[in-house]
Chain A
Amino acid sequence: MSENKFNDFPEEGAALPPEGEAPAPLSGEEWERLRSLLLGREIAAIRALRERLDNHDLHARELSEVVAEAILLRTQKDQTIEKVLQPTVEEIFQNNLRRNPHQVVNHLFPLMGPAIRRSITETFRSMMQSFSRTLEMSFSWRGLQWRLEAMRTGRSFSDIVMIHTLLYRVEQVFLIHTETGIVLDYAENEGIKSQDADLVSAMLTAVQDFVKDCFAGGGQAAALESLQMGDLTILVERTPQAYIACVVRGTPPADFAGQINTSLELIILECAEEFKQFAADGDSGPFKKIRRHLLDCLDARYIEEKRKAPFFIRYLPAALLLFLVIAFGGLKYQQYKYESMVEELGRQPGVVITAAEPSLLGSWRLSCLRDDLAVDPSNFLVEAGMAQNRFHIDVYSYISLDGDIVKRRVEEAIKPPPGVRMSFSDEHVLRLSGDAPLGWIIATREKALTTPGVKDVDTSLLKDPLAQELNQLMARIDGTIIYFPLNKDLPETESAPKLIEAVDNIVALEKLAANMGMGITVTIYGHADAIGNEKYNYDLSQARAKTVAAMLYARGSSVPISTYGMGADFAAYEDGKPIADPGSRKIILKVHLARLAAMEQWNP
């Protein structure tokens, strides 16, 4: 076969089989050639088409080119795509939520944060506005008047404030389907007590129809534009599809109707499709999306303050009053504080306030009596917190008989050694107890009794540990008798040991007493019998006493010794006649305790 089949065909003008003759049947090959000559292009096209139909990848590529436009076209036409996709999208979302809730939360979080913040900010802003307004109203003179009015009329304070300050406020906004009177959407201001919006809308529509029938002859052009009762006005703006009714308290501005109209037009523009749908199925749900236009109508304006003075001038009287209250209060408080201090000073032992005069500016002039042992009045007041320049005080000395002061005074006088306890009774009796040297005890008793304010001293509970030994020694010495021979001033020989013992005891007693802060004195009484004349006997008795005194000194004693010659004053007589009685020839020793101070004055 040649390379080009077409070259095998007869050339143009070549002889064809004569007419009327049946052409020779075509062989299979020829037939094939003919077919490819006649249908070659179509066959190629069909093959290409079949390939496109079988190739899914190609399909996807082609569809991807037009899918967006297709969706757009269909969405503009109806809501089928939304309805078809809705269950699938919901299912995807639910499955996703079930499988991986954290991921969903992560996606939502950036959205929720700002939304919550915004909501909280709005709430706070609204709260602060109403709070500051209430605050302003509560503390002004006008606010007080309104509060009285609220009490008088039995209405709430907020109502009265609103009546006086409100220019107008849109309380409720209804978007109502014109033909059916069915409420499509509704919004109201905070704190409004509203009735059922469905019923109110329907009845509002009926009332308009009623008015139209009764007074406008039911003409289509005529329509009710506003209703008024008291300070409430219902403003109506309408289109054939829907109308907006605003319930307004107060007098709205002239351009307010225009504002409603703008909102209504926007709604009609945005909801053309929704109105058609509503006519078909009566579902008002889709109208929720235009709520913002209704909220725009919820306007409110308040009367503005006239000629508001600058802040500091408005609050100047209040500030001045506050300053005066604080100043007066401060002065009063200081006066009270100082008064308390002065009273407290008067309560101190050994201090008597005789005069206390506060000046208008809070200074004090004081006069008082003070015991030397009492607190210093000036120091006391300064330490209590009174400034030095806020008082002047004249102090006069006196001796206080106040229990505390007397106790302090006697304490200073007697200076009790360690081991001595002292107490001072309300009856001003000083009680001492414990161990102390006898000399101190005796001296203290004298000192205490001469201290001003002490009525008595009780030393019965004070004891000297050495006192017993002292008493024993004294008892041994006291009353010792030494006998003398007739007409002699030297003792009998037999009496010598007794005399030596007495002398030694006196020396020991002297030392013991000195240890106890005491001293002793010895008195020696000399006696003679009645034989002989009186003068002689007196001299003899004196001589006997001095002899013993000399013996004491000779033995080392240094005690003060007094000697007395008693003569025969105590001699024995028989039948009224003097007798030579050996018992009358004697000396008698007496020993006395004395304080050392007293001893020092003694000059033998």
Chain B
Amino acid sequence: MITKKICMVGSFSVGKTSLVSRYVYSIFSDAYLSSIGVKISKKDVASSKGQVKLMVWDLEGRDDYGEINTTYLRGSNGLIIVVDGTREETLSAALGMHQKALNLVGEIPFLLLINKQDLADEWEITPKMLKILNEKNYNPIFTSAKNGLNVEKAFKMITDKMVTPS
């Protein structure tokens, strides 16, 4: 069976863990995140190359300044970058993390998720920012941990990107 390692990065409290918790299988508690800085889950996804097992490394968001434990990124086949749509600073932090990841593991498939789509009142990501993101081929996807919007789709997309040679 094809197995791929993907890392989820994002600032503290952008909702990474909540976003995927309902969609993955794990034997470890969230306490691992704050203790050793990573929580690992797995998920089976159907792809064009058959069933793919994703090992999801949920990396602790240390702060809003793009600090990240790069050791855990080693060997990653894909990257899910999560941004909190209600905190603009998490976007720049996320981009910084992406850059660090690029430096460490090279060009690997990635996906930018803008989370908390359900909190329209507190939204801080402007259309202008989105336009720039699209121009830089980030093509963000809006998600919500509350109603599970686009979560499955995101897993499917990153899997397809990983198994299909660009």
Contact = CB atoms under 8 A, between A and B. Distances in A.
Nearest to B73: A209
Interface of B: 1-5, 25-28, 32, 36-38, 40-42, 49, 52-53, 55, 57, 69, 71-72, 74-77, 162-163
A218 interface: yes
6 contacts: A178-B75, A183-B3, A199-B25, A281-B2, A282-B4, A282-B162
B77 A282 contact: yes
B27 A196 contact: yes
B37 A284 contact: no
Contact of A218 (B40, B71, B76): B71
A196 B163 CA distance: 24
A177 interface: yes
A178 B71 CA distance: 12
Nearest to A278: B3
Interface centre among A181, A196, A207, A282 (most CB of B within 10 A): A282
Interface in A198-246: 198-200, 202-203, 206-207, 209-210, 212-213, 218
A209 B104 CA distance: 15
A212 B32 CA distance: 17
Chain A interface extent, by class = 20 to 34
Contact of A206 (B40, B77, B162): B40
Given A177-B75, A180-B3, 11 more contacts: A178-B75, A180-B55, A180-B75, A182-B4, A196-B25, A203-B32, A207-B36, A209-B71, A282-B52, A283-B2, A284-B3
Contacts of B26: 199
Contacts of B2: 281-284
Given A181-B75, A207-B36, A210-B37, A199 B42 contact: yes
Interface of A: 177-183, 195-196, 198-200, 202-203, 206-207, 209-210, 212-213, 218, 281-285
A544 to B, nearest CB: 145
Contact of A202 (B1, B36, B57, B77): B57
A65 to B, nearest CB: 38
A206 B36 contact: yes
Contacts of A213: 69, 71
A195 B26 CA distance: 10
Given A180-B5, A209-B71, A199 B53 contact: no
Nearest to B36: A210
A439 B104 CA distance: 141
Contact of A181 (B36, B37, B55): B55
Contacts of A209: 71-72, 74
Interface centre among B27, B40, B77 (most CB of A within 10 A): B40
B126 to A, nearest CB: 37
Contacts of B3: 180, 182-183, 198, 282-284
Given A210-B36, A212-B71, A202 B27 contact: no
A604 to B, nearest CB: 134
A182 B75 CA distance: 9
A183 B1 CA distance: 11
Given A180-B75, A284-B1, A199 B28 contact: yes
Nearest to A212: B71
A182 B28 CA distance: 17
Nearest to B71: A209
A181 B54 CA distance: 12
A283 B1 contact: yes
Contacts of B69: 213
A207 B35 CA distance: 10
Nearest to A284: B3
Nearest to A210: B36
A330 to B, nearest CB: 63
A12 to B, nearest CB: 72
Given A195-B27, A206-B36, A285 B1 contact: yes
Question: Would you list the 4 A-B pairs with minimal beta carbon distance, nearest first?
Answer: A179-B75, A180-B75, A180-B5, A202-B40
Contact of B76 (A180, A198, A206, A285): A180
B59 to A, nearest CB: 10
A52 to B, nearest CB: 42
Contacts of A198: 3, 42, 53, 55
Contacts of A281: 2, 49, 163
A203 B5 contact: no
Nearest to B55: A202
A219 to B, nearest CB: 12
A78 to B, nearest CB: 16
A419 to B, nearest CB: 103
Contacts of B55: 180-182, 198-199, 202
